[in-house]
Structure 1
Amino acid sequence: MSIATLERPETAPAMGFEELQAFLFAEVRALDDRDWDTWLTFYHKDCPFWMPAWDDYDTLTEDPQNEMSLMFYPNKQGIEDRVFRIKTDRSSATSLPEPRTNHYLSGIEVLSREGSEIKLRFNWQTLSYRYSKTDQHWGTSFYTIDTSGPKPLITDKKVVLKNDHIHHVIDVYHI
């Protein structure tokens, strides 16, 4: 299914489970394909992207403004800045060469639907290959998706990394 098929007429019925699944698969496919411009189209301009950290008591931090986070972008502009740095090699955190990744999603669960807003969670695993070494990351993601427009948009993204003992920089394409 292409990105174009995810666009919906304004009078379309509520997004079904298969459409939600296709939306999520298309987002991670853009990451795996390093299609950064397409990946950015999945995000609403006000979407925060947050990966909390685990504290010393094995509890997730709760406030990205005042506590440690593994990753935090308060809106799409922060995500766009990260993509710009990836694309132009303007960051010391950029992995060169970029790793080859493969994302797997499972346990997709709709938590709630209110009007055009859908809250969901799913488990994921990402394998990445770089310098003849394969790494793996896994966790659970929580998304809020707005389906009111012609294309669904992620309006809130929280990623919980379960294997947070990592030996290198983790980036948006790892999760």
Structure 2
Amino acid sequence: MSEHYDGICQFLYREARLLDDRQWDEWLTCYHPKAVYWMPAWGDDDCLTSDPQTEMSLIYYPSRDGLEDRVYRIKTERSAASTPEPRTTHLLTNIEILEGDSQRCTVRVNWCTHSHRYQQSDCYFGHSHYQLEHHDQGWQIMHKKIQLNNDYINQVIDIYHL
């Protein structure tokens, strides 16, 4: 799998760049149509929720359709939380392939996103687990689970923060 490490890193860097550049349609192509996008909430016992069907999540889209709807609302200014869109810079580090082969792999990534809007800058940080599959067009995200480690969020968190 180490021979595929550079390609996986480049794919993950590209996903982050597309968010920073607000290239929404290209960003969506990083996700398989059946991709799950999930950011669980922290429970009262300082543990993440474990089932998006029965417990609270900060964000949960069971397929790319949810992401497409979110992007549509951002692009058409039908999202008050995203108007104006914040400026973001995504930083990825400690990219580690946990398991897999040349067709499927699980990757853990630490991340930090700086966001600026309304003369206010914020920093969001955590790590994500990706399940990637290699298709004809390259790697695609099948599942992304995001762990946000901030204790306090002073605005609505959205896909471009993560």
TM-score (norm 1): 0.88
Q: 1:174 corresponds to which residue?
A: 161
Contact 1:49-1:157 at 8 Å conserved across structures = yes
Q: Does 1:100 align with 2:87?
A: yes
- 1:47 match: secondary structure: strand
C-alpha distance in structure 2 between counterparts of 1:170 and 1:15, whole Å? 35
Counterpart CA distance in 2 for 1:16 and 1:55 is 36
Q: Which residue of 2 aligns with 1:77?
A: 65
Give per-residue Cα distances to partners, 1:112-163, cap 9 Å, x unaligned. Answer: 0146111100100000011111100000000011014232110011000000
Correspondence for 1:89: 77
> Could you say what secondary structure the match of 1:39 adopts?
helix
Superposition deviation, residue 64 in structure 1: 0.3
The 8 Å contact of residues 34 and 142 in structure 2, kept in 1 or not, is answered as yes
Match of 1:31 among 13, 16, 19: 19
Q: Which moved more, 1:112-121 or 1:96-105?
A: 112-121
Give the drift of 1:104. Answer: 0.2
Please tell me the residue identity of whatever aligns with 1:17.
Answer: Y
Q: Which runs of 4+ in 1 moved over 4 A?
A: none
- What is the correspondence of 1:1-175 to structure 2 with a 5 Å cutoff? 16-92=4-80, 94-114=81-101, 116-175=103-162
Residue 16 of structure 1, CA deviation: 1.2
- 1: distance between equivalents of 2:35 and 2:2? 21
The CA RMSD over aligned residues, in Å, is: 1.5
Q: Is the 2:113–2:123 contact (alpha carbons within 8 Å) kept by the matching residues of 1?
A: yes
Task: Give the Cα separation in 2 of the matches to 1:91 and 1:58.
Answer: 31
| CA-CA distance at 1:65 after TM superposition | 0.7
**1:164: Cα distance to partner?**
3.9
Shift of 1:15: 6.2
Q: Deviations over 1:75-128 (max 9, x none)?
A: 000010000011112234x32111000000000000001461111001000000
When the two structures are aligned, how many residues end up with a matched partner? 162
Residue 14 of structure 1: how far off its partner (Å): 8.8
Cα distance in 1 for residues equivalent to 2:16 and 2:105: 18
Contact 1:121 1:140 in 2 (8 A): yes
Q: TM-score, normalised by structure 2?
A: 0.95
